[in-house]
Amino acid sequence: MNIMKKLIINGGRTLKGEVTVSGAKNSTVALIPASILADSPVTLEGVPDIQDVHSLLEILNEMNVKTDFDGNTLTIDPREMVSIPMPSGKIQSLRASYYFMGALLAKFGEGVVGLPGGCFLGPRPIDQHLKGFRLLGADVDNEMGAMYLKTRDSGLVGSRIYLDVVSIGATINIMLAAVRAQGRTVIENAAREPEIIDVATLLNKMGAKIRGAGTDMIRIEGVDQLTGCQHSIIPDRIEAGTYLAIAAAAGEDVLVNNVIVEHIDSLIAKLDEIGIDLDIGEDSIRVKAPSKPLQPVTIKTLPYPGFATDLQQPITPLLLLAKGESVITDTIYPKRVKHIPELERMGANIRVESDIILIEGGHPLKGAEVEASDLRAGACLINAGLIAEGQTEITGVDKILRGYSHIVEKLNDLGADVYMQEEEDWAV
């Protein structure tokens, strides 16, 4: 017997009030493995209370790393850490566990890591990660679904690494391995996302020598030792974007706090184009009631600073409110379209043609039973449920809880009617 969770949304409420964005999921899941490189405790502030964090802490505890997670502060003490093969079950449920590859290589010169899981968004091979490790002088073997990593006697040696495709994961993973390598490493065609700057900032506080994070060329001088420190995680730009999209679709005066505005410039430009009235503060954005009809737009996702692939799903319900045809092209994950049939069930006039999403807005949505296929599809369906007439039931809730901290409480504080229902599922 399983306990099945459902998210029940009674739509049609107008949202008002304030919501505060948590620390960045995509930073946190890299900062936690990065912390094991220190030889004394690391304290992270602003850690989101999400399933991915708890999964990582379980992995750390199995490696004899002491952790203390209190409120939004996490202390990691790696002084008694041991290198053991990582349990594949945990790994499967969590894509970011692959950051342990770079961290274990740098710390112990070896590691065994199960292949990563997470949300299925089409092919996301880790070949660029492995290419980087090999160029740093590690042997990498894939046996029975686990990666065996080992450095040669000389240890890791700095190298020039050109990434064939821009990859956030590979950029961070190579960075983690290279901080302890001998000599200089240069990562070319590196990803430029804010989360990479965040990880580099932590490592530099620990004593690493990293320059150029946030540009397409990162230079790393290897060091012998890293020490513990304190670090505040940047706010989650995808969570900020999700609440802005929700406030634009279902709100009339919503203040989104703890935002680094520059991180979501591409989204703000689109909201502006749609006709959303925004009041932009220093670290907050107020979404006001729309004063004119919403306009259809064309969105194309691109690597940072372009429009984030993680925001194409949360913004789609807003485009359903604009009269006329909007077009979304996801150049990062073209197969990220599993939310479309679910929106159709709710009455949306929306279709996919050769991986391009075509949205005919202006058709009211009705509540329905829908399933979240991945984390951001879940955010899309929540947004759709809030603007739909009647009740929406969302299954696949665990995927949503992987990345949004206290989302039910945050929405109810804004005046939504959302609750979690647990049922016993006897189906095998």
Q: Give 370's strand partners.
A: 394
Single-letter amino acid, residue 391: Q
Give the integer Cα–Cα distance in Å for 247 and 393: 20
How many other C-beta atoms can be found within 10 angstroms of the C-beta atom of residue 281?
12
| 125 token code pair | 């091979």
24: left (phi over 0), alpha (psi -120 to 50) or beta: beta
Give the integer Cα–Cα distance in Å for 375 and 313: 10
Give the integer Cα–Cα distance in Å for 149 and 83: 12
| 97 token code pair | 């566990």
The residues near 143 (Cβ < 8 Å, ≥ 6 apart) are none
Determine phi and psi for 224, rounding to 5 degrees: -85, -25
Name the residues annotated as catalytic.
119
CB-based contact 49:72 (threshold 8 Å): yes
CB-based contact 396:18 (threshold 8 Å): no
The residues near 40 (Cβ < 8 Å, ≥ 6 apart) are 77, 79, 227, 228
Distances from the Cα of 350 to the Cα of 52, 101, 401, angstroms: 32, 41, 26
Q: Is 343 helix (H, G, I), strand (E, B) or coil?
A: helix
CA pseudo-torsion sign 166, 168, 173, 175: positive
The number of C-alpha atoms within 13 Å of 364 and in the hemisphere containing its C-beta is: 7
How many other C-beta atoms can be found within 10 angstroms of the C-beta atom of residue 67?
18
**For 96, which DSSP code?**
G
Give the integer Cα–Cα distance in Å for 63 and 179: 21
Nearest to 324 by CA among 304, 302, 342, 297: 297
Give the integer Cα–Cα distance in Å for 302 and 267: 12
